[in-house]
Amino acid sequence: MVTDRTAPVETATLAAEVEGLLAPAEADGVFRDTRECSSALLIFGLLLISPPTPRPKTDNR
Amino acid sequence: MAEQTQGAVPLSAVIADAATGVALALRGEGGPYALSGILRHGDALTPAAVRVLGADALAPYAMEHRGAQAGPEDEAVVRQALAAYPPGADATEVSAWTYRGLVEASHAFLPAGAQPWPAPPEAGTGWVAQTPWPRLSHRVSQLAALALPGLAPGLAEQLAARTDDLSRGFVRAVRRRDWLQAAGLGRWLARLPDVAPTLGLDSGLAFVRQMGGADPRVTLHIVAAQRFHGRGW
């Protein structure tokens, strides 16, 4: 890990970085939408309990 | 992030280290606190880090039973930050208020030395009443360092009128998992007098610490809310 705190830095870019750190734009929220989650769960449940697709009978007798 | 010379430590890493040092001092750990001990006078990034931390850089000196008095080295570090990064003519409200917060904290917690501290610059409060609550919450969270006792009394008075909106913002930030915003807002709410008990601020702050404690600035806000206002677990 580099630890040189005395390395020269550009004053102008540092000033811009300071302003950016003081008032950053709001980050996108990371959250789960309950309605979306419940819909996905409902669809999964319906698929799970659905009856098998009817197949044509192969018995020729 | 802005480009820096290869080999230099990122500013955010220096700020994180310093925030950890301040939080430790507020907890009463890590020995006597000295700002010039965690951010050395003469380091290239020290003034920038002090400017970003704002009044929080001096927070341990605001404690009643502090381990150490501020010395001339601390004074020099703060003067350097104030001189290097004043808010410009087109500065944001946050930039103006954080600068004012650092000046106010210098007046309150540092010796003046041979040279008096500059007068706190004017910073408006009109935006507090006019800003919609989500944007207000985001902005107020960026001013969390001003929630130190005694700083920015005018701003605190204005914010008290919007306690319910800030409470909404706290819940919103938690739901968005924006832990830094939640911690900053929670710290301000800890200072405001009429926060509804139904908000569950104490358990909310504990939850934010649990979830976002990996960020030293989140930890700093939570520890400061506990140390200065007795909120959170």
Per-residue pLDDT tens for B162-210? 999 999 999 999 999 999 999 999 999 999 999 999 999 999 999 999 9
pLDDT of A61 higher than 70? no
Separation CA B197–CA B199 (nearest Å):
5
Q: Measured between CB atoms, which of A5, A21, A24 is closest to B43?
A: A5
Q: Which of B8, B92, B176 sits opposite A23 (nearest CB)?
A: B92
pLDDT number for residue A51: 85
As a whole number, mean pLDDT of residues B124-144 equals 96
Would the CB atoms of A13 and B98 count as touching at under 8 Å?
no
Integer Cα distance of B129 and B125 in angstroms: 8
Report A:22-51 residues touching B (Cβ under 8 A): 22-24, 26-27, 29-31
Predicted pLDDT at A2: 47
Span of A54-58, B37-41, B188-192 with lowest mean pLDDT = A54-58
Residue A9: the pLDDT is: 62
Residues from chain B that touch A5, judged by Cβ atoms under 8 A, are 8-9, 14, 40, 43-46
Instruction: Specify whether the CB–CB gap between B21 and B220 falls below 8 A.
Output: no
Closest to B47 in 3D by CA, of B82, B92, B5: B82
Integer-rounded Cα Rg, in Å, for chain B is 17
Residue A27: pLDDT band with limits 50, 70, 90: confident
pLDDT exceeds 70 at position B30: yes
Assign A5 a pLDDT band (cuts: 50, 70, 90).
low
Instruction: Note the pLDDT tens digit of each residue in B65-114.
Output: 665 678 888 999 999 999 999 998 888 999 999 999 999 999 999 987 77
Q: Is the ipTM of this complex over 0.90?
A: no
Give the residue-averaged pLDDT of A11-33: 84
The reported pTM is 0.84
**What does DSSP assign to residue A5?**
T
pLDDT (0 to 100) of residue B4: 47
Q: Which tens digits make up the pLDDT trace of B14-29? A: 999 999 999 999 999 9
